[in-house]
Amino acid sequence: MKKKAFFFFFYSNWGKSCTLRKLTNNSPRIRRVTLAGNVFYIRRMSNDDHETKLLEFVTNEINKKGNHAIIAFCPVFEAGRKSKEVLEILKKDFDLYFFVIKHEYKGSRVVANEEIEVLMQYGKCEVLNEKIESDLRAERFTKFILANM
């Protein structure tokens, strides 16, 4: 059985890190969380923060962690970016799941349908269409994870 990687997916400065901290009682230091008896390694630094470091992580480190994964991810699929390469590497050893925040909480930006369609080529997607605070986003993301374990 393959391990599972769950992506928390939306644009830069939309609160990915804040929402993922909710899974670890607001601690930015905790790197593992157990949900329903399953251990997950959490990668809060997304590809929009340090794309090359995320690529190195999925190439060299993630399988050494021995766990399922929760990864912050940003929709940057234009030419020259490494997002698809990251997904191609991960899909060899992981089933991929994407929890997409469609609308920016405090603004008007929206994740494009074309970006969601790219994700659907790699795994299961759930799109959150509501503008909700980080506590509720974390709760919905957790429910998505548990429903797919």
Q: Please, what is the Cα angle at 20 between 70 and 101, to 5 degrees?
A: 85
Helix axis angle, 47-56 to 83-91, nearest 10°: 40
For residue 87, the surrounding DSSP H or E stretch is helix 83-91
Phi, then psi, of 108 in degrees rounded to 5:
-120, 5
Q: What average pLDDT does the segment 56-73 reach?
A: 85
Does residue 136 or residue 15 have the better pLDDT? Answer: 136
Does residue 139 or residue 64 have the better pLDDT? Answer: 139
Question: pLDDT tens for residues 88-144?
Answer: 999 999 999 999 988 877 888 888 899 899 999 999 999 999 888 888 989 999 999
Q: How far apart are CA 61 and CA 93, in angstroms?
A: 13
Does residue 39 or residue 81 have the better pLDDT? Answer: 39
Enter the pTM of the model.
0.90
